[in-house]
Structure 1
Amino acid sequence: MSAVSGLLAPRTAAIAMAVLLLLVLPLWVGNAYYVNIASQILFFAVFALALNVLVGYGGLTSLGHAGLFAMAGYTAALLLARGHGHLVADTAALLVTVATAAVYAVLSLRATGIGFLMITLAIGQILWGIAYRWASLTNGDNGVNVSSRPMPFGLDLSGADGFYYLCLVVFLACVGSMAVVVRSPFGASLRGTRDQERRMAALGYDVWLIRFWAFLLSGFWSGVAGLLFLYYNQFISPQVVALTTSAEALLMVIAGGTATLLGPIVGAALVVIMKNVVSAYIVRWNMVLGIIFILIVSFMPEGLVPGSARLWAWARHRLRHGKPKPAAPGPVAAPPASGGKEGVR
């Protein structure tokens, strides 16, 4: 018990410190531009955490999650454009996104591995084609504008600080729910389907149903992230549904570390900062991001967070025990005495 409490105390203190820093971030940043960057990191972290449910814990790599991300945004934007309130539009958007995730699951869970990836990619491209070509509904390349942000409990979200705190509340709720799910029997069974699918089926678990519920959970939080994206930009277009968005989300998960809660958050911060901050100084920021990703895959294939933890454990072990001392030389063996026929004269 003492060892467990000793491990939990630093982790709890680190979590409390991180939450405190996030709460006061607008105060010590002071610049609305960087507060908006922080908001982007938070809602893209929610998106990456949603995708991580499938990629990290379910072992199912999806390249079509941009469709779920954009489905919520488009549904809410179109309903708002037709005069509906924010509550109705947002509720309908989440319901439609979860229903779309169910369709994704029914079609894509027929396969695993590369087959699953290709089916999700195909569905995502179909949704992109609808958003791009069905101009009478989606307004095509011109996109859909949203004139205002919601005001929950009368709170003004029009400014950078107000919207940041909305993103922070949603982000903390997402992380908390993911932590509960990961540590629950459902999370254990989902990891079991990732590691030993046949054994789980032999034990009586419905592998397809477990993955189906995981898909719905992933779809729900993807929809929440899509709504935050819509209200942040107050605009949505077919570009959001493109393959690039799905690839960036997958890059966030892999770069930070799959099957971890902190990994997708770190990956989201890396990609958002590269897109919005580094791109202001480096024209070829895509190339820099690609180089960083290659380095991560080459030297930390498990991701930045698990890889950093491994290096830290190795460094701490070396500091505690030092380099192993070379073995002391043993006594020099005496040459064998002459004998035998050669010694007899």
Structure 2
Amino acid sequence: MKRLLWIALAALLASLPLWQIGDYYVNLASQILIAALFALSLNLLVGYAGLTSLGHAGYLGLSAYVSGWLMLNLQWGHLPAALAALAATTLMAALFGLIALRASGLSFLMITLALGQILWGVAYRWASVTGGDNGLSGLTRPSPFGLDLGDASLFYWFTLAVFALIWGVAAVWVRSPFGATIRGTKDQPRRMSALGYNVWLIRWITFIVSGFLGAVAGLMYVYYQQFISPHSLSLANSAEMLLMVIAGGAGTLAGPVVGAALVVLLKNVASAYVDRWIMLLGFVFLFIVLFVPSGIVPGLAKAWARLRRAGPAEGASTIEPKLAKEAS
């Protein structure tokens, strides 16, 4: 049943543009996939390593800025610009990891916040390179195999393919023996250290991989928007992505996707009908924290498990009296 549900979901996503629902909703689906990709990268830190970050938007923005600047000013093609952006952002994540992982808990949170604000300040003040408030505009989308990604449907399929690839790699990685050590450093860091594991190195590698995936999300973001501004590196953007992870369910593969869909739909659909949609978003998260504190996906999984356990028990309670009567 679970395998059939996954196949049905994959078919549903792949056929979405064929439903003639209009470019608006196809573009909305692309936004959800890009947000889910970014939330997935943050989930590696928050959900699996137990390291809450408030500066993760810096990797998205840095990747987008490097790629956009190389294409606009040096006339680089999309592929070399993308590779350079991924390399630069990954190196920055490695450097930031060396600084941030000197602490843990609230101190780690504050260090990541400070590092993210540094990147935001550079993007805001270095106007000769980043464009300042005006950002970088006039960017174009790539054309892989001659396909025009300016078409909403083709760009959606391209985004879906990238998301499926990254999601599959992340699923294999977190379920591997190394993924088990990541969860071990979250739950029992002292015991892991006593067993001979280098806890700091495991966390640093996870930090770098998380930054790399954030860079991939940044490329998809700038390809979709064809514009980049300092807002993409802001604290508000980092906090929004953190809310996606927490609402959907940290430490699960489906949680960031569900959280991203929830936030993007509230921002784009609910805001068309409700003026104070941010207040509505607050009430939704308050409901999640009060009634499903572990997140939507873990909450639904627990409810389904309770229903499955209750089913046979109820059946047994109705059968046992009948058997006793027949025996008598």
Report if TM-score (shorter chain) is over 0.5.
yes
Give the Cα separation in 2 of the matches to 1:146 and 1:225: 20
1:152: how far off? 1.0
Aligned to 1:59: 50
Match of 1:338 in 2: none
Aligned to 2:119: 127
Q: Do structure 1's residue 268 and structure 2's residue 274 form an aligned pair? A: no
CA contact (8 A) 2:57 2:116 kept: yes
| % identity of equivalent residues | 56
1:18 equivalenced with 2:9 (yes/no): yes
Separation (CA, whole Å) in 2 of partners of 1:323 and 1:292:
36
Which residue does 1:34 correspond to in 2?
25
Distance in structure 2 (CA, Å) of the matches to 1:191 and 1:116: 18
Partner of 2:205: 213
C-alpha distance in structure 2 between counterparts of 1:254 and 1:147, whole Å: 33
Unaligned stretches of 5+ in structure 2?
318-328
Tell me, yes or no, if the aligned pair for 1:257 and 1:303 is still in contact at 8 Å. yes
Residue 78, structure 1, aligned to residue 69, structure 2: yes
2:68·2:139 contact (CA, 8 Å) conserved in 1?
Answer: no
- Asked if 1:310 corresponds to 2:321, the answer is no
Q: Structure 1: state its 5+ residue gaps.
A: 1-9, 326-345
TM-score by length of 2: 0.94
Flag as ranges the 4+ runs of structure 1 deviating above 6 A. Answer: none
**CA distance in 1 between partners of 2:22 and 2:159 (Å):** 17
Bigger proportion of residues as helix: 2
Separation in 1, partners of 2:139, 2:218: 17
1:178 aligns with 2:170: yes
Query: Number of residue pairs matched?
Result: 317
Aligned to 2:325: none
Cα RMSD after superposing both structures: 1.5
**What is the aligned partner in structure 1 of residue 98 from structure 2?**
106
**Deviation (angstroms), 1:258:** 0.7
How far apart are 1:324 and its partner, in Å? 10
- CA deviations 1:172-229 (Å, max 9, x no partner) are 0111001110111110000000011011111111111111110111111101111111
The aligned runs of 1:1-345 (5 Å cut-off) are 10-82=1-73, 83-322=75-314
Provide the secondary structure at the position in 2 that maps to 1:178: helix
Equivalent AA in structure 2 for residue 33 of structure 1: Y
Larger radius of gyration: 1
Aligned partner letter, 1:49: L
Query: How big is each residue's C-alpha offset from its partner over 1:319-341, in whole Å with a ceiling of 9 and x where there is no partner?
Result: 4423998xxxxxxxxxxxxxxxx
Amino acid at match of 1:177: V
